[in-house]
Amino acid sequence: MDKPTPESVSPDASLTADESFTATSSAGLTYPWGDFAPGPGKLHRIADGISWARIPMPGSLGHINSWLLDDHQGFAVVDSGMLLRECSDAWKALFAGDLAETPITRVFGTHLHPDHIGLAGWLCKKFDTDLWMSRGEWLTARMLIADVRDEAPLAYHQMQRGAGWDADTVAEMAGKGWGRFAQMVFEMPVSYRRIAEGDVLDMGAHQWRVVVGSGHSPEHACLLNETTGVLVSGDQVLPRISSNVSVNLSEPESDPLGDWLTSIDRLLHLPADLLVCPAHGEPFYGLHPRLIALRDEHHRRLDQVHAELKVRPLRAVDCFPLLFNRPIGGHNRDLATGEAIAHLHRLRADGRARRDTVDGVHWYHAA
């Protein structure tokens, strides 16, 4: 198969795992730049050692922020946009604009989702530089890119059937093809530079500490500058939308919502007054109120599902109205199903639910 390029990928293939289905409170947050965002070709300095570029994207997200950290003799890029012409054109505008004089020294991927690493390999190749990721993100990305096949595996059918979808819907979901991840990510370098929890990266005048979270993705890296009080948060902390937390086919019995809630508790040990630079939305103050809102909203929804389980048994698909604030169908079925299973698995893990399987369909009961 030909390697995909930014020109070869059509925007309708550009589904990401970063869509949100759940309303959460943003009370207590302040946005120093309001709803301003840097325009095409422009970098905006937001603190000592960090500049902001905005990369437009199709779909409900509309953009990803790329954070450029001062490094020895250039900028380190954190997150790069998808493998789409719209995103590579935004980078070309930067190379002709505010990045005309400054080379890229390294490329970070906070996590494996295609809107974050879709153009990472493209940037690494262009600047002959390394890709820096956590091992969990790197290996999972490489695994997904390598998994290209003509038809969805049987285990996918079984997982969707288990969630409660009927055979026709499962066939429709599987009919979208398999291996689309590889089509959304530019060829990755064969080697990478590993970052891990607690690493302190020397970037010239600044040091950035790696802070790892989990649940939205396996080993999501945030970068913290303790001197300037800046946290590059990727999708681990977003100001306006809740990050998708899904059970995936590669780990169908996992408890990612448990990982997510544990990560929130750990992040609450970071200073409350950090400037948070998220992958989607605007930079903000209010890390702690936001983490608490995200945590409390998940607990509220867990309680709602648990209350309903006391009334009747539920499949994952029965949980949608209890969990989500918008209709589920078509392109968002996979993500919504994964997130509903994540809530049911959390209830099982904390002893509030048990599961029976009847004709391949998983029914959850109050325990």
Binders of Zn ion: how many residues, by CB under 5 A?
3
- Nearest distance in Å: CB 115, Zn ion: 7
Stretch that binds Zn ion, among 230-238, 256-264, 328-336, 344-352 (CB under 5 A): 230-238
Comparing CB distances to Zn ion, the nearer of 152 and 245 is: 245
Closer residue to Zn ion, CB minimum distance, 111 or 352: 111
> In terms of CB distance, is 226 or 297 closer to Zn ion?
297
Provide the Cα torsion 179, 185, 186, 189; round to 10°.
Answer: -90
235 versus 255: smaller Cβ distance to Zn ion: 235
Listed ranges 47-55, 105-113, 177-185, 303-311: which one lies at the site for Zn ion (CB under 5 A): 105-113
**Smallest separation (angstroms) from Zn ion to the CB of 319:** 22
For residue 349, CA distances in Å to 201, 244, 298 come to 36, 19, 15
**Is there a contact between 222 and 211 (Cβ–Cβ < 8 Å)?**
yes
The nearer residue to Zn ion, 18 or 334, going by C-beta atoms, is 18
Q: Which stretch binds Zn ion (CB under 5 A): 2-10, 149-157, 227-235, 293-301?
A: 227-235
Q: How far is the CB of 222 from Zn ion (least distance, A)?
A: 12
146: Cα separation from own chain's centroid? 20
- Of 51 and 110, nearer to Zn ion (C-beta) is 110
Q: What phi, psi does 132 have (nearest 5°)?
A: -115, 120
Question: Quick one: 49 or 136, whose CB is closer to Zn ion?
Answer: 136
Q: Tell me: does residue 235 bind Zn ion (CB under 5 A).
A: yes
Q: Which residues of 36-74 are buried (b: 16+ CB within 10 A; e: fewer)?
A: ebbeebbbbebbebbbbbbbbbbbebebbbbbbbbbeeb
Taking CB under 5 A as the binding criterion, the range among 111-119, 140-148, 178-186, 356-364 that sits at the site for Zn ion is 111-119
For the bound state, the minimum distance from the C-beta of residue 134 to Zn ion, rounded and expressed in Å, comes to 13
Binding letters toward Zn ion, positions 39-78, x by CB under 5 A: ----------------------------------------
Q: Least distance in Å: CB of 217 to Zn ion?
A: 6
> Tokens at residue 161, please?
């059937």
| Residue of 106, 113, 280, 306 interacting with Zn ion (CB under 5 A) | 113
Give min distance, CB of 140 to Zn ion, in A. Answer: 12
Q: Using the rule CB under 5 A, give the single segment among 19-27, 49-57, 113-121, 252-260 that binds Zn ion.
A: 113-121
Kindly state the smallest distance separating residue 55's Cβ from Zn ion, in Å.
Answer: 14
- Cβ proximity to Zn ion: between 18 and 318 the closer is 18
Question: How many Å apart are CA 195 and CA 9, to the nearest integer?
Answer: 30
Q: Which parts of this chain interact with Zn ion (CB under 5 A)?
A: 18, 113, 235
